[in-house]
Structure 1
Amino acid sequence: MLYPTIYDTPEHQVLRDQVAKFIAREVEPHAAAWEEQGMVPREVLRRMGEAGLFGLMYESQYGGAEGDALTNLVFAEALSQSTFGGFIITVLVHTDMASPHLHHAGNAAQKDKYLRKVIRGDLITAVGISEPGAGSDVAGIRTQAKRDGDHWVLNGTKLYITNGVHADLYFVAAKTGPGKREVSMFIVEKGTPGFSVGRALKKTGWLSSDTAELVFDNVRIPAANLLGEEGKGFYSVMKNFQTERIALGAMAVGHCQRALELTLDYVRTRQAFGGPLWNQQTIRQRISMLDAKVRAARQFMYHCAWRVDQGHDIVQDVSMLKALTGELVNEVLQACQQFHGGMGYMRETPVERLWRDARVLAIGGGATEVMLEEVAKRY
Structure 2
Amino acid sequence: MARYRYETDEHVLFRETLRKFLLKEAAPFYDEWERNRLVPVSFWRKLGEMGFLCPQVEEQYGGLGLDFSYGVIIGEEMERIGAGLTGVGLHNDIVVPYIESFGMEEQKRRWLPGCITADWITGVAMTEPGTGSDLANIRTTAIKEGDHYVVNGQKTFITNGANGNLFLVVVKTDPNAEPKHRGISLLMIEEGTPGFTKGRKLDKVGMHSQDTAELYFEDCRVPAANLIGNKGKGFGYLMEKLQQERLIVALAAQTASEDMLEMTLDYVKSREAFGKPIGSFQNTQFKLAEIATKVELGKTFLESLIEDHLAGKDVVTKVSMAKYWITETAREISSECMQLHGGYGYMEEYKIARRYRDIPVASIYAGTNEIMKVIIAKNMGL
Give the TM-score range, shorter chain: over 0.9
1:216 is aligned to 217
2:83 is aligned to 85
Q: Counterparts in 2 of 1:354-365, with a 5 A limit?
A: 354-365=355-366
Q: Counterparts in 2 of 1:3-22, with a 5 A limit?
A: 4-22=3-21
Q: Counterparts in 2 of 1:318-357, with a 5 A limit?
A: 318-357=319-358
1:310 is aligned to 311
- Output the CA distance in 2 between the equivalents of 1:4 and 1:40: 28
Deviations for 1:292-314, whole angstroms, at most 9, x for unmatched residues?
21121122112122112222111
Displacement of 1:123: 1.3
Instruction: Report if the CA contact (8 A) 2:162-2:213 is conserved.
Output: yes
1:232 is aligned to 233
1:268 aligns to what SS in structure 2? helix
Q: Sequence identity of aligned pairs in percent? A: 38
* Backbone CA RMSD of aligned residues: 1.3
Instruction: Report if the CA contact (8 A) 1:166-1:210 is conserved.
Output: yes
Deviations for 1:31-88, whole angstroms, at most 9, x for unmatched residues?
1111111110111111111111112221111122222233322221222211x211x2
Instruction: Report if the CA contact (8 A) 2:71-2:89 is conserved.
Output: no
2:53 is matched by which residue type in structure 1? F
1:251 is matched by which residue type in structure 2? A
- Output the CA distance in 1 between the equivalents of 2:288 and 2:242: 32
Gaps of 5+ in 2: none
Displacement of 1:315: 0.8
1:213 aligns to what SS in structure 2? strand
Instruction: Report if the CA contact (8 A) 1:5-1:299 is conserved.
Output: no
> Please, which of 138, 143, 146 is the counterpart of residue 140 of structure 2?
143
Instruction: Report if the CA contact (8 A) 1:260-1:291 is conserved.
Output: yes
1:308 aligns to what SS in structure 2? helix
Instruction: Report if the CA contact (8 A) 1:255-1:329 is conserved.
Output: yes
Q: Counterparts in 2 of 1:150-189, with a 5 A limit?
A: 150-177=147-174, 178-179=176-177, 180-181=180-181, 182-189=183-190
Instruction: Report if the CA contact (8 A) 1:73-1:302 is conserved.
Output: no
Instruction: Report if the CA contact (8 A) 1:168-1:190 is conserved.
Output: yes
- Output the CA distance in 1 between the equivalents of 2:46 and 2:25: 9
Instruction: Report if the CA contact (8 A) 2:54-2:96 is conserved.
Output: no
- Output the CA distance in 2 between the equivalents of 1:295 and 1:78: 18
Distance 1:3 1:66, change over 3 A: closer
- Output the CA distance in 1 between the equivalents of 2:300 and 2:172: 39
Gaps of 5+ in 1: none
2:194 is matched by which residue type in structure 1? P
2:71 is aligned to 72
1:81 aligns to what SS in structure 2? helix
Deviations for 1:318-375, whole angstroms, at most 9, x for unmatched residues?
1111001110110111111111110000111111001110111111111111111111
- Output the CA distance in 2 between the equivalents of 1:23 and 1:265: 22
- Output the CA distance in 2 between the equivalents of 1:113 and 1:4: 36
1:282 is aligned to 283
Displacement of 1:97: 2.2
Displacement of 1:4: 3.0
- Output the CA distance in 2 between the equivalents of 1:4 and 1:364: 26
Displacement of 1:154: 0.5
Kindly indicate whether residue 188 of structure 2 is the aligned counterpart of residue 190 of structure 1.
no
Deviations for 1:244-284, whole angstroms, at most 9, x for unmatched residues?
11111111011111111111111000010220011011111
1:244 aligns to what SS in structure 2? helix
Q: Counterparts in 2 of 1:200-211, with a 5 A limit?
A: 200-211=201-212
Q: Counterparts in 2 of 1:114-129, with a 5 A limit?
A: 114-129=111-126
1:361 is matched by which residue type in structure 2? A
1:91 aligns to what SS in structure 2? helix
2:122 is matched by which residue type in structure 1? T
2:28 aligns to what SS in structure 1? coil
- Output the CA distance in 2 between the equivalents of 1:52 and 1:317: 31
Instruction: Report if the CA contact (8 A) 1:81-1:257 is conserved.
Output: no
1:318 aligns to what SS in structure 2? helix
- Output the CA distance in 2 between the equivalents of 1:17 and 1:29: 18
1:148 is matched by which residue type in structure 2? E
Displacement of 1:136: 2.2
Query: Normalised by the size of structure 1, how large is the TM-score?
Result: 0.96
2:18 aligns to what SS in structure 1? helix
- Output the CA distance in 1 between the equivalents of 2:9 and 2:137: 45
2:372 is aligned to 371
Instruction: Report if the CA contact (8 A) 1:129-1:172 is conserved.
Output: yes
2:94 is aligned to 97
Deviations for 1:127-161, whole angstroms, at most 9, x for unmatched residues?
10111122122212111111000100111110100
Displacement of 1:192: 0.9
Query: Normalised by the size of structure 2, how large is the TM-score?
Result: 0.96
1:94 is matched by which residue type in structure 2? H
- Output the CA distance in 2 between the equivalents of 1:129 and 1:18: 34
